[in-house]
Amino acid sequence: MQTIPSLEAQNRFGELLDTAQREPVIITRRGRPVSLVLSPVNDIDALQRQFARALSELAPLRGAAAAAELQRSMAGLGEQARREGLTEQDVQRLVDED
């Protein structure tokens, strides 16, 4: 993920848009993050991954907060798997394939 100053974002807006098609871009002002540019995607899961990646760079989680976020994410994945009709065995098989 790239981080660029706001003046550079203004001066190189076309390049900013091109970069945002490939990865999220954080724009800073006076060294602090002020904006996040994400490319619109049709796949909501891809958008969630981009957003989560950007958040992790802006505010990395540590300790109990990291454990709680992992638990929340895992619960969401389990619910999505159930909605899609996957069993625990299906999920385990998919995990083992990677």
Integer Cα distance of 90 and 84 in angstroms: 11
Could you read off the pLDDT of 19-60 as tens digits, one per residue? 988 888 989 998 888 888 888 766 667 777 777 777 777 766
Greater pLDDT, 7 or 54: 7
Which of 36, 43, 42, 44 has the alpha carbon at shortest distance from 19?
36
Tell me, yes or no, whether 22 and 39 share the same domain.
yes
The pLDDT value given to residue 39: 80
Verify that 9 and 50 share a domain, yes or no: yes
Strand pairing class (25-29; 32-37): antiparallel
Task: Say if residue 10 is in the same domain as residue 30.
Answer: yes
The span from the first CA to the last CA of the chain, in angstroms, equals 24
**Structural domain total, the chain:** 2
Percent of the chain's residues with pLDDT above 90 = 17
Q: pLDDT value at position 57?
A: 73
Structural domain span for residue 52: 1-60
CATH number of the domain encompassing residue 25: 3.40.1620.10
Average pLDDT over residues 62-70: 72
2 and 49 belong to one structural domain: yes
Residue 97 and residue 66 share a domain = yes
67 and 56 within one domain: no
Question: Quick one: pLDDT band at residue 85, thresholds 50, 70, 90?
Answer: confident
